[in-house]
Amino acid sequence: MENTFIPYHKALSILSAHKGDFVIEARDLEDCIGSYLAEDLIADRDFPPFDRVTMDGIAISYAAFETGQRDFTIEAIAAAGSPQKTLKDSSNCIEVMTGAIMPLGVDTVIRYEDLNVHDKQASINIDAINHKQNVHFKGLDIPKGAIIVRKGKRLSSAEINIAAAIGKARLNVRRLPSVVIFSTGDELVQVDQVPQLHQIRRSNIYGIQATLKEWGLQAQLKHLADDKAEMLQVISKALEEFDLFIFTGGVSKGKFDYLPDVLEELNIKKHFHKIQQRPGKPFWFGTNSNGKKIFALPGNPVSSFVCTYIYLRYWLQHSLGLEQRPLYVALKNDVEFKPDLIYFLEATLESLPDGSLVANAIKGNGSGDFANLVKTDGFLILPQNKSQFFANEVYPFVSYRSIW
């Protein structure tokens, strides 16, 4: 194997060294869903901010119940949103509603279902209650000053809810890079065209665009013919407009694979070109002095899919400061792979009753068999320097679909 091929982990380290520096911008809260948080969300008060009643009923002093008292005169009513009440006579009770601030002088709530209430009199009709029951105490969930959500988190409706609860009408989020995806090759035609025998439709870029959209990135689609002069002109202009470039095809050794030479002529520094892996060996990554990032993926659909999920996702997560949390699964079936390469093997994922996850490896018919992707859930990452992989052995798994 020629020495220009680099190991998988070396490629990851190079991507880490060239992570993106995404600008921070403030947005209105209602415009932040799906964005990546660029500040910690910190509790501006205790949660809950007061001792909160969690059941409709009455609030009493538990000491009165302990002495055998079961009948209580209702002294007042505490509704949610009203100022805090105070029990004046410890042998009485206060009628309370869910969400109300717990009155002073009481410490235990009995729900209506365990009471008989008539003419401002409440009688407890059960024999046992717990001290301080049905009260959500101040600061029990989150104390004031605590970090509730750390920066880097992608904002779902749950985080939006938290932001609103702590008074954040605007949030600092990361502005994601502008992205363009180029397909390359004279054999490609538009999706809505009927290809001739020697042609195929431009499918890869739509899959990659959809993947990026799932990650919060919007990408434009363009095409490059196998014409070096045209490629130079089009890419040169695009470098003034976009931050992140993704190419599919044109990076191998064919006579018309002009892309590496074109990128070099445009003063884009190559950091690697080939990786010791299958599929997806001819994968090119580079940057220019203006911080543009260029990912040139193989043209074969499975290869480009693998490189998107393995490397582009890694780069994006690292750029955003997201925690890398690999998913580990057990092999369901034995696998043999003799080449000294890291092997990204398609597999389905199954959750067993004992709580374990198992991956059933399903080999396709090579890197052009994109139809096999619809039968599987993701890729096993099988290491180099090993040719036999046995059932029940555990390996990392990269999912490209929700399986639950």
Going from N- to C-terminal start, the domains of the chain cover 5-22+176-320, 24-47+141-174, 52-136, 327-399
**Model pLDDT for residues 284-335, shown as the tens digit of each residue:** 999 999 999 999 998 888 899 999 999 999 999 999 988 888 899 999 999 9
Give the C-alpha separation, 330 to 312, whole Å. Answer: 25
Query: What does the CA dihedral 182, 185, 191, 194 come to, rounded to 10 degrees?
Result: 170
- Predicted confidence at residue 325, as pLDDT, reads 83
Give the confidence band of 2 by pLDDT, cuts at 50, 70, 90: very low
**Model pLDDT for residues 87-117, shown as the tens digit of each residue:** 999 999 999 999 999 999 999 999 999 999 9
Give the confidence band of 194 by pLDDT, cuts at 50, 70, 90: confident
**Model pLDDT for residues 123-140, shown as the tens digit of each residue:** 999 999 999 999 999 999
In sequence order, the 6+-apart residues with CB closer than 8 A to the CB of 141 are: 47, 48
Q: Is 278 helix (H, G, I), strand (E, B) or coil?
A: strand
Pairing of strands 5-6, 121-124: unpaired
**Model pLDDT for residues 213-244, shown as the tens digit of each residue:** 999 999 999 999 888 999 999 999 999 999 99
Give the C-alpha separation, 257 to 233, whole Å. Answer: 16
Question: What fold, for 52-136?
Answer: Molybdopterin biosynthesis moeA protein; domain 3 (2.170.190)
- Predicted confidence at residue 253, as pLDDT, reads 63
**Model pLDDT for residues 55-97, shown as the tens digit of each residue:** 999 999 999 999 999 999 999 999 999 999 999 999 999 999 9
Pairing of strands 282-287, 41-42: unpaired
DSSP string, 282-301: EEEEEE-TT--EEEEE-SSH
**Model pLDDT for residues 182-193, shown as the tens digit of each residue:** 988 777 667 777
Query: What does the CA dihedral 368, 370, 376, 380 come to, rounded to 10 degrees?
Result: 40
Q: Which CATH superfamily is domain 24-47+141-174 in?
A: Molybdopterin biosynthesis moea protein, domain 2 (3.90.105.10)
- Predicted confidence at residue 193, as pLDDT, reads 74
Arithmetic mean of pLDDT over the chain: 92
Question: What fold, for 5-22+176-320?
Answer: Molybdenum Cofactor Biosythetic Enzyme; Chain A (3.40.980)
Question: What fold, for 327-399?
Answer: Beta-clip (2.40.340)
Do 5-22+176-320 and 24-47+141-174 agree at the fold level? no
Full-model pTM: 0.84
Quick check: 364 pLDDT over 80? no
**Model pLDDT for residues 21-34, shown as the tens digit of each residue:** 999 999 999 999 99
